[in-house]
Structure 1
Amino acid sequence: MKIAISSLLMGAGILAACATAPTPVGRSYVAAQVAVANAEKMPVYTHGNQELTVARQRLEASRLASLDGKSELAEMLAIESILSSDLAIAKTALGKTSAVNSEMQNQNKAMQQEMLRNRKVSP
């Protein structure tokens, strides 16, 4: 009877341990999750899509390394994820700025042409 109860309790303990898989909770990992989430809110698909993909891959690799007990590797991968997320955001901002700059240059040229045309028409 005692053996059956102890076996039952041991089995329940094993099931409980399996049900709650450990998750990485390092500061860098959490910061990387936030960085990736912030990059995903931006329209990075035009300019920073590749960097966002790398950030997601590094975040997942960091999680797996942490679960394997490789904390230094997990930390390094989390930092790489943060940097890739930041690069995706920066490339997106640069793309937007370049587009605005280009539009302003086009408008400036149009205004200059209009001014030249008005000079030729006026007496």
Structure 2
Amino acid sequence: MKIAISSLIVGAGILAACATTPSPPGRSYVAAQVAVANAEKLPVFTYGNQELTVARQKLEASRFAALDGKPELAEMLAVESQVSADLAVAKTSLGKVTATSEDMQNQNKALQQEMRRNLKATP
């Protein structure tokens, strides 16, 4: 009798432990981790720093939601994290292209001014 009761208690304990074990991260969480890691490799600090910070915060919140047994919230936060990381990358790309374009326009203006000076100096 004591063995049966002990077995029931151990069995109930195992079931309870399984019920509270967090599920492995979903695809959205892993995708968000990859997006944040990729964004961190770029110079986003100049153009997309705020978005990267939000992405990190959402990723951490997603992890906590998963640990708290809230898979729907964890999924939503992971997707939001990925979107924020992608936005940081896009803003960085746009910022770099804009800076390059402005630099080229300035160089073009300098060349035009030099050509005008040369035309005036030639008799």
Does TM, normalized by the shorter one, top 0.5? yes
Quickly say closer, same or farther: Cα 1:48–1:23, change in 2 above 3 A.
farther
SS of corresponding position for 1:69: coil
Q: Percent identity?
A: 75
Alignment of 1:1-123 (within 5 A): 22=22, 24-123=24-123
| Contact 1:23 1:63 survives alignment (8 Å) | no
CA distance in 1, matches of 2:89, 2:24: 25
CA distance in 1, matches of 2:39, 2:93: 11
| Contact 1:24 1:63 survives alignment (8 Å) | no
Structure 1 unaligned blocks of 5 or more: none
Give the aligned length.
110
Query: TM-score, normalising length from structure 1?
Result: 0.81
Query: TM-score, normalising length from structure 2?
Result: 0.81
RMSD value over aligned CA atoms? 2.0
Aligned-pair CA distance for 1:68: 1.1
Structure with the largest fraction of helix: 2
- Specify the code of the residue in structure 1 equivalent to 2:25: V
Structure 2 unaligned blocks of 5 or more: none
What are the superposed Cα offsets for residues 11-55 of structure 1, whole Å, 9 maximum, x if unpaired? xx99xx7xxx74641000000000000000011111111100000
